[in-house]
Amino acid sequence: MKDKEKMIDDILSRGVGEFVDPDGIFRNKLLTNPEKVVIKLGVDPNRPDIHLGHAVVLRKLRQLQDLGCKIIFLIGDYTATIGDPTGKSKVRPDIEQAEVDKNAKTYIDQVGKILNTDPTVFSWMRNSDWYYGPTDLVPDPSIKSINIETKKEDGTTQTLEIPANSFVGKALFFESTRMQKTHLHLSQIATVTLKGLLWTMKHITHAQLIERDMFQDRLNKNEELYMHEMIYPILQGIDSLMISYIYGNCDLEVGGTDQHFNMLMGRNVMKSNKVAPQSVLSFDLLEGLDGKEKMSKSLDNYVSITDEPSDMYGKILSIPDSSIAHYFELCTYTSLSRVEEIKKEVIGGKVNPKDLKMELARQIVAEYHGEEKVKEAENDFITKFQKKEIPDVLEQLEAEGDELLSDVLLRGGIVESKTEFRRLVEDGAVSNLDTKEKIEDFFQKIEGDMKLKIGKKRFVEIRKK
């Protein structure tokens, strides 16, 4: 029991920003009855890749799964079209449902790299399952009618053709496509109605919402603040309420410290609906490769858990020395006592930071790609960067006609903008590997096949169609 208590203490403290658990209700349930614990993680699929920042939370959830807890991986496909304003100084642009669906599938495919996806300890759900109603659905235009079998009074059956675009047709389609039916096989479907939303909003004050720091920042700067953004925390709280209805309880919600306000709002929503409120576990945010901003794809300072082993290894070696200990704490299972030693070693200059980064890179590559890929990644890195040699396999791009080099690199995702390409050219960071000459013309056209070095880490082969 003592060992279990020590493990739980480590889970609830390591890398944790804040833990809200009045009267120790969650901790006690985790200690005495973990197989009955339901934990929610909500993700907003506005970007397709899971990076090491997301993995901080996922790795913690895996530890909780190992104790027997069930993780509900909630895809916020409905609320993603609204957009959580967390950390946004401006209104976030709308995202199309098709893109949300594509990103959601990518998320599910990737979480299995970290989480145990056995149904006893894992379930996933879309929040559109309870926010959409029958009239929101647009039937496939190729489906003109829905056939249903009914029994007559004499015991014989008859087939009724229901127009697919009618209310009844949409209701039948709605009933048959809810995950609560198709995945969880529940007899009744839980939904959110306007009446239920208004009931919840009656118990949340304007003052409670407006105290959110990013809302205050907007108002102080005389920037627009829209109602759909203000109610986002309420909708996130309703998600917790619905999980409690569907799975029997929602004991804990986890997320980054930037989600702490939203998760606390979930407690208020659950209380107002007479449901046991969730505890809240907020994790420290992992800084990106720049060592400054939080890891984010939009800032291009991230390491995706699906990066190639050599790319992952090289990116980790690029982090600033000041981030080494924090990465060990949040991205590995290195003991906290060793993390403290690493902090002292870096500050005291007792060790070459590069050696620590290489050890960090080895651990991270091993976790996401397996031990057998570590040496391969290390050798590839040495070949590519330390020996300044060209790797055997280059990124492949195709060019059509007399396209501009900048257009080909932009389309291939090698550069994010023509402005970045111009900066790289001005810095002498684009060179032709065949001629050994630097590219100096911003408007260079693709006249034939060519091999390029872009910056310090990218090697590209362009083939002209």
Measured from the Cβ of residue 41, the count of other Cβ atoms closer than 10 Å reads: 20
Helix 372-381 crosses helix 353-369 at what angle (to 10 degrees)?
130
Helices 260-272 & 194-201 angle (0-180, nearest 10)? 100
pTM above 0.85, yes or no: no
The residue among 199, 209, 225 whose CA lies nearest residue 264 is 209
The pair of structure tokens assigned to 116 is 């145990």
DSSP for 298-336, please give it.
Answer: TTT---BTTS-HHHHHHHHHTS-GGGHHHHHHHHS---H
- For 273-404, where are the alpha helices, taking DSSP H only? 309-317, 324-331, 336-348, 353-369, 372-381
What span, in angstroms and rounded, lies between the C-alpha atoms of 305 and 225?
35
CA–CA dist 11, 24 (Å, integer):
15
pLDDT at 88: 47
Helix axes 353-369, 336-348, angle to 10 degrees: 150
List residues bridging with 173 in a β-sheet: none
- What is the pLDDT, as a whole number, of residue 48? 64
pLDDT in tens, the chain (465 residues): 678 888 899 999 999 999 999 999 999 999 999 999 999 999 877 666 789 998 999 999 999 999 999 999 999 888 876 665 554 444 444 455 566 667 677 777 888 889 999 999 999 999 999 998 888 877 677 778 888 888 877 778 888 888 888 888 888 888 888 999 999 999 889 999 999 999 999 999 888 888 887 788 888 888 888 888 888 899 999 999 999 999 999 999 999 998 999 999 999 999 999 999 999 999 999 999 988 888 887 777 899 998 899 889 989 988 999 999 999 999 999 998 999 999 998 888 888 888 999 999 999 999 999 999 999 888 887 776 655 556 666 788 888 878 888 888 888 888 888 888 888 888 788 888 777 678 888 888 887 888 888 877 788 888 887
- 268 with 203: CB under 8 angstroms? yes
* CA distances to 63, 178, 295, 322 from 43, in Å: 19, 19, 15, 29
Q: Supply the DSSP symbol for 216.
A: H
206 to each of 1, 9, 217, 343, 464, how far by Cα in Å? 46, 36, 16, 44, 60
What pLDDT does residue 392 have?
60
Q: How far is 162 from 175, CA to CA, in rounded Å?
A: 14
The two beta strands, 252-256 and 279-283, are parallel
CB atoms within 10 A of CB 357: 20
Pairwise CA distance, residues 265 & 234, whole Å: 6
Amino acid at 205: T
Query: What pLDDT shows up at residue 195?
Result: 92
Q: How far apart are the first and last CA of the chain?
A: 67
Q: Under a CB-based contact definition with an 8 Å cutoff, are residues 269 and 219 in contact?
A: no
Nearest to 198 by CA among 272, 252, 147: 272
Q: What is the pLDDT of residue 211?
A: 82
Matching residue, tokens 């060992």: 3
